[in-house]
């Protein structure tokens, strides 16, 4: 398009500036109206703590340490079961299990037994259907990776 006069050029320039201003104001207004949502990853403490137990020789439960106990209580976590009742806690480490999980789930279901499966991120990414089956059948799926992952936010365990 050829602009014939300075007056026409100025009109096009003013219209262009107005369009840019209107667009900019609408983008700014959209950003102002957006609601900020804080997710749990933003509010979790990322302080690294050592995880482990202090074994003892008197057949009592090991000591988790004060800091670990506080983290567990704050997040409704479970590490050591009830010492007053005779329970067996059946747990499986997933990710290095050589392909037996389907059979294990079948046997657990046949015998109406619940277990806890500790999964790695790799296991979750490569065996999503088995992890869903674990959850659907009422098992607990726990974290066995450096980063947090969990099957549900509403897991309730009665001891």
Q: What is the pLDDT of residues 18-60, one digit of tens each?
A: 888 787 777 676 666 555 555 555 555 667 767 666 777 887 7
Task: Please list, in sequence order, all residues whose beta carbon lies within 8 angstroms of the beta carbon of residue 32, skipping any fewer than 6 positions away.
Answer: none
pTM: 0.52
- Residues 109-115: what's their mean pLDDT? 95
The pLDDT value given to residue 17 = 85
- For residues 100-118, give the mean pLDDT: 94
Please, is 63 exposed, middle or buried when counting C-beta atoms within 10 Å of its C-beta (0-12, 13-18, 19+)?
A: middle
């Amino acid at each position: 398009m050829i602009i014939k006069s300075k007056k026409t050029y100025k009109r096009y320039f003013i219209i262009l500036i107005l369009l840019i201003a209107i667009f900019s104001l609408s983008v700014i207004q959209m950003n102002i109206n957006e609601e900020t949502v804080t997710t749990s990853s933003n509010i979790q403490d990322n302080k690294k703590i050592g995880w482990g137990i202090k074994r003892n020789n008197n057949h009592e439960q090991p000591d988790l340490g004060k800091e670990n106990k506080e983290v567990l209580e704050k997040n409704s976590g479970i590490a050591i079961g009830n010492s007053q009742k005779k329970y067996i806690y059946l747990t499986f480490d997933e990710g290095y299990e050589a392909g037996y999980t389907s059979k294990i789930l079948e046997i657990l279901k046949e015998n109406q037994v619940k277990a806890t499966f500790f999964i790695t991120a790799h296991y979750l990414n490569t065996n999503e259907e088995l992890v869903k089956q674990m959850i659907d059948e009422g098992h607990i799926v726990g974290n066995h990776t450096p980063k947090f992952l969990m099957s549900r936010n509403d897991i309730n365990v009665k001891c």
